[in-house]
């Protein structure tokens, strides 16, 4: 399977740049999620790749073929791609077998028997054997989604494009289908771009995630890399929950906010530089010795008061007002530590959990 290379793509709608100087390389056989909020340019990027839109600048390459540039665009039907839409786009008057067969009608050299054999095999793969004669209106949302996947895969595309295909499903079915799409990707190994605004979906399904904001790629990496080492405020907040502490570097590895001092994960900050620090709630340790006040000391040892406690089933979400400064930190603690608003607590934070970001609040 070939890879996909996007080189400085730009696409505008009037004065608004939906995609601006966007570059991204997808390796052969890789599944990359385009993740971001509504209006960040992820669907426009997918439609540029599919050939439905023409870039105003930049190029799209698949392997050694240039498919799009401002002067020349290969039409969608000649791109060897398949796309799964948010609405599935199934023909309501066709049966499951007829929907899946549809794309094969345009492939030369296949007999009717060969087409039927391929369809039966694909329906077994997506666990819809025996549903050949049903119509889309007789299927559940998850089954319709499987039909759309089967229709896309049966034509053996070089590139598979998915535009928020799970957004119409309920929460439980959406979670189930995440693993199903990942299973199918591992079975077929097709180079895939997957558009979503759901961070959990992107983390489960993809090999790597490209986080988009305002038509640009902010950061690309594995789910673990983006969660543990975000580079910007936007990535830190969009990938999981986090605390952001804005301060000033007082040493290469120390950030201050009022009386609060935090040792951070990496050195190299010039004294006086504004720095934002990301701290994940689950990486903050609550210190509550029984029968006495909190006893904390050492690096990044803080004192505070519980402002709010929310029971979440498998954990408790606390808001803690830090005594050393005007900072409120969210802390995710096990249910064995049940505290009430107003109680005093201690906090310990490993310097490795304090990640300085490239951009700080003005």
- What's residue 32's pLDDT? 98
Indicate whether 208 belongs to any domain.
yes
- In this predicted model, what pLDDT tens digit does every residue of 127-155 receive, in sequence order? 899 999 999 999 988 899 889 989 999 99
Last residue of a domain, one of 211, 236, 261: 236
Q: Which domain holds residue 290?
A: 241-356
Domain count, the chain: 2
Query: pTM here?
Result: 0.88
181 lies in the same domain as 258: no
What residues contact 321, with CB distance under 8 A and at least 6 apart? 304, 305, 307, 327, 328
Verify that 174 and 53 share a domain, yes or no: yes
Residue 192 in any domain: the answer is: yes
- The residue among 189, 83, 206, 184 whose CA lies nearest residue 124 is 184
What is the per-residue pLDDT across 198-234, written as a single tens digit (0 to 9) for each?
Answer: 999 999 999 999 999 999 999 999 999 999 999 999 9
Last residue of a domain, one of 236, 264, 294: 236
Is residue 334 over pLDDT 90?
A: no
Handedness of CA 238, 239, 242, 246 (dihedral sign): negative
| Residue among 35, 34, 41 at smallest CA distance from 4 | 34
């Amino acid at each position: 399977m070939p890879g996909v290379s996007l080189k400085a793509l730009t696409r505008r709608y009037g004065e608004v740049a939906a995609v601006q100087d966007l570059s991204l390389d997808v390796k052969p056989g890789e599944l990359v999620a385009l993740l971001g909020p509504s209006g960040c340019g992820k669907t426009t990027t997918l439609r540029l790749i599919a050939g439905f839109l023409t870039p105003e600048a930049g190029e799209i390459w698949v392997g050694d073929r240039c498919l799009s540039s401002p002067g020349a665009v290969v039409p969608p039907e000649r791109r060897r791609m398949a796309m799964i839409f948010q609405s599935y786009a199934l023909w309501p008057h066709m049966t499951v077998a007829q929907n899946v067969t549809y794309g094969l009608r345009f492939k030369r050299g296949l007999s009717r028997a060969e087409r039927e054999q391929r369809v039966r095999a694909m329906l077994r793969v997506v666990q819809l054997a025996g549903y050949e004669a049903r119509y889309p209106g007789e299927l559940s949302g998850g089954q319709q989604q499987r039909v759309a996947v089967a229709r896309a895969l049966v034509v053996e595309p070089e590139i598979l494009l998915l535009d928020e295909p799970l957004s119409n499903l309920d929460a439980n079915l959406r979670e189930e289908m995440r693993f199903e799409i990942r299973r199918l990707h591992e079975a077929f190994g097709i180079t895939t771009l997957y558009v979503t605004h759901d961070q959990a979906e992107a983390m489960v399904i993809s090999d790597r995630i490209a986080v988009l904001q305002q038509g640009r790629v902010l950061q690309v990496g594995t789910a673990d890399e983006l969660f543990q080492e975000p580079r910007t405020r936007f990535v830190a907040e969009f990938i999981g929950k986090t605390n952001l502490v804005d301060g000033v570097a007082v040493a290469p590895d120390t950030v201050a906010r009022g009386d609060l001092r935090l040792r951070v994960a990496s050195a190299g900050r010039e004294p006086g530089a504004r720095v934002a620090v990301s701290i994940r709630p689950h990486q903050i340790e609550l210190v509550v010795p029984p029968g006495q006040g909190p006893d904390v000391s050492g690096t990044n040892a803080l004192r505070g008061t519980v402002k709010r406690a929310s029971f979440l089933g498998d954990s408790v979400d606390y808001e803690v007002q830090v005594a050393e400064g005007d900072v409120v930190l969210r802390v995710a603690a096990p249910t064995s530590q049940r505290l009430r608003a107003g109680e005093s607590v201690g906090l310990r934070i490993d310097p490795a959990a304090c990640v300085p970001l490239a951009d700080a609040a003005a």
